[in-house]
Structure 1
């Protein structure tokens, strides 16, 4: 590699001089021409009058002793204008309103500095035609900050056609790199922040749950997780990875809860599990009836969750009704949900209009896939709440509605019926 860099020196000097003529923002005014090749990367950083704010940050954190060595380094350094804008945006300004690097807490400043330095290699961005060298490639790299705090994000580098983007920056960084005896200094138009953002929940492994169930929470940024709460109750958890948490449903869970994940870096938006009002879980919260075949209100033959389900032997146009022991209002809910297992392919009609149970214009139909649990979610709007006086209701109708002949003894099982 020593021979490679010797070959690069002469060509790179010419390239630098040519660029320097047309570049103002990133000139190294205190070092000119060939002398640049014989300075260290740290020396280049301090000699560049456009990077004095970052150099001051190194001084304030006492990091000179570990950065000013002959080991290999690749720097990604925001210029003064960029770093000053960052200071202002984060409130580090003096009494006159000017950005002041001295106001940043030392530990925060140390992480900021180290997040911009990769130790152990020297790789350049700008490729020289016909010259083999170590060039920076697209990928993720561990910075010196990652060595101190492994929970930080890795540095994301993208190099396309000689253009450098760092840490997903909206503004591209200049492709020009300054080279020294032991590394390179890349000047950035963005500040690198490796601190994870607030956690995000993207999905839950189940939509209904019982106390003691272990559910999988999938998402992003599960770093330094402090708690997972079901409502106000903290759950027992196992953090599997940055994208997965196992959580045990608390013993005081009823039928519905909002779940949030809290980390050292923020709190997720809530995700709901369960139903706000569960009319049937293992028993009916009210009274039930039906016509046609037999109804068993606590059957153990086919159960989606828990111990019991409703078994209905059903023929053409036969069905059941369930009357809640409390009055419900359509404005309190967005969905009607239930799980239905059918032994035959059929269609059912659902109606919540207690004043006119048998009018098909006042409900909606759902086609059932036989031989499996159909997890059904019907928007309340599909049940025509505008036709219900005051939106109040307390009765639900489920009726066979296929219009075809069913095998005698055809059965549907209903479980976990309620409103969200």
Structure 2
């Protein structure tokens, strides 16, 4: 009887060991649950046949002793197929054409591995009914790589309706996170890279600027900024944050420039400031005339920028005509831009040819009273196909509200030009 008991006991132990070993491989559909796996998080990595490339990266980076500790860990690990795709995409391929982790520089490997590990917490994804646990929630998490290099991005975690997204990776969460005595291993379908991408400019605080103005450049990835250039001229700047830069417009700025931000990680696409040609800045670069109300060409009463603006008493259907000393062509510009301040609600009609009475060749714009309206009219809206050769040398603006304004209505016009 004793021998039979020992045999049964021996079989039960063998079955347990087989099950325990099998539970370390993601061929098993569900290895989560309330029962704790009697292995460390690092031990799970070593035992899993689908995470061998990540384990090799740990070894090559010399991080075994750093990660094989009793501390709590939450791992986000790309499977072997995903890691192989990453290696190929980044050119780490041997002479036979196979992906080779040995070709990745050690410092890069170290950052890559640590970018996948959150130390000090053990958080799982799949929520189990009736089981209290430390569950992953949506937010940004600092990895071990962030502790080494604070300029790196944080790990972006999103858990919605049982689905885990880690910097763009999707995986069904319930039952697929590997649990251990001191943490969890979440298997991903992408390799996490926390190195900031090239900077991006999204907006400028000023549409127009003058030399010496301090403008705010808003965007993304302003990390380790090397330079801010207006055209070929470097500007004095202060990187306020990863999304904001203060830059001083250089002394040689005329009326237009392409702004570029360069960081240690790349160069932004150019963002334009100003106008390629200013027909009116503080004075008219040409000559003009008008009707239906007085015109003051260099008024100081109400100015958007600089020292002067055009003041026009805007009686119903009144207008003004501005002729440029410089011959212009529609092919060289995309927009007509101006700042205009009406004292009453009104509408204007704008054309860029000398046919002052032909509104079919122009477009209308409704103005908000009591503030500067920064208008940007596409050249394509001004019927360039009707202008012979696209050549023009004038701008015509007419009050177009239909007779609803009072005789005392005034409009102020500043910074009129072309971009």
* Cα deviation, residue 357, structure 1: 2.3
Match of 2:361 in 1: 362
- For the residue of structure 2 that corresponds to 1:165, the secondary structure is strand
Q: Where do residues 62-141 of structure 1 align in structure 2 (5 Å cutoff)?
A: 62-141=62-141
TM score, norm. by length of structure 1: 0.87
Q: How does 1:207-218 map to 2 (within 5 A)?
A: 207-218=207-218
Question: Hey, what's the Cα distance between the residues in 2 that align with 1:79 and 1:415?
Answer: 61
Matches of 1:375 and 1:134 in 2, distance apart?
52
Distance across 1 between alignment mates of 2:140 and 2:372: 44
RMSD: 2.7
User: For the structure 1 residues 231 and 26, does the alpha-carbon distance in structure 2 shift closer, same or farther, using more than 3 Å as the test?
Assistant: farther
The separation in 2 between residues aligned to 1:135 and 1:360, in whole angstroms, is: 66
Matches for 1:13-412 after TM superposition, within 5 Å: 17=19, 20=22, 25-26=26-27, 37-170=37-170, 175-354=175-354, 356-404=355-403, 406-412=405-411
Q: 1:25 to 1:44 in 2, by over 3 A?
A: closer
What is the distance in 1 between the residues matched to 2:364 and 2:381? 9
1:349-398 residue CA offsets vs partner (Å, 9 max, x unmatched): 322212x2222222223333332222222221222222211111112222
State the distance in 1 between where 2:92 and 2:174 align. 26
The Cα shift of 1:417 comes to 0.5
CA contact (8 A) 2:73 2:117 kept: yes
Distance 1:253 1:345 in 2: 35
Q: Contact 1:174–1:186 (CA<8 Å) still a contact in 2?
A: no
**Aligned CA distance change for structure 1 residues 123 and 349 (closer, same or farther; 3 Å):** closer
Deviation per CA, 1:291-332, whole angstroms, max 9, x where unpaired? 343322111011011000112233333322211111101111
> SS at 2:341's partner residue?
strand
Structure 1 contact 228–261 (Cα < 8 Å) conserved: yes
Check 1:363–1:123 CA distance in 2 against 1; reply closer, same or farther (3 A cut): closer
Match of 1:413 in 2: 412
* Cα shift readout 1:237-257 (whole Å, capped 9, x = no counterpart): 222222222222111111111
Q: What is the deviation of 1:419? A: 0.9
Q: Matches of 1:138 and 1:339 in 2, distance apart?
A: 44
**Structure 2 Cα separation of the partners of residues 379 and 144 of structure 1:** 50
Under a length normalisation based on structure 2, what TM-score does the superposition of the two structures give?
0.87
| Counterpart position of 2:9 | none
The corresponding residue for 2:10 is none
Q: CA deviation at 1:268?
A: 1.8
Q: Retained in 2: the 8 A contact 1:173–1:189?
A: no
Deviates more, 1:207-216 or 1:290-299: 290-299
Change (3 A) 1:19 1:54: closer
Give, in whole Å, the separation in 2 of the partners of 1:17 and 1:127: 23
- Contact 1:112–1:193, Cα closer than 8 Å, also in 2: yes
In structure 2, the gaps of 5 or more residues are: 1-14, 30-35
Q: Deviations over 1:73-101 (max 9, x none)?
A: 22222222221221111111111011111
SS at match of 2:108: helix
**How many Å separate the matches in 2 of 1:277 and 1:246?**
25
| Distance of 1:367 and 1:181 partners within structure 2 | 68
Structure 1 CA distance for aligned equivalents of residues 54 and 170 of structure 2: 21
Runs (4 or more) in structure 1 with deviation over 6 Å come to none
1:144-186 deviation line (CA, Å, top 9, x unaligned): 0011111111112233454433222145578423333322222
Provide Cα deviations, 1:247-270, integer angstroms capped at 9, x if missing partner: 221111111111222222222222
Q: Secondary structure of 1:223's partner?
A: coil
3-state SS of the aligned residue for 2:145? helix
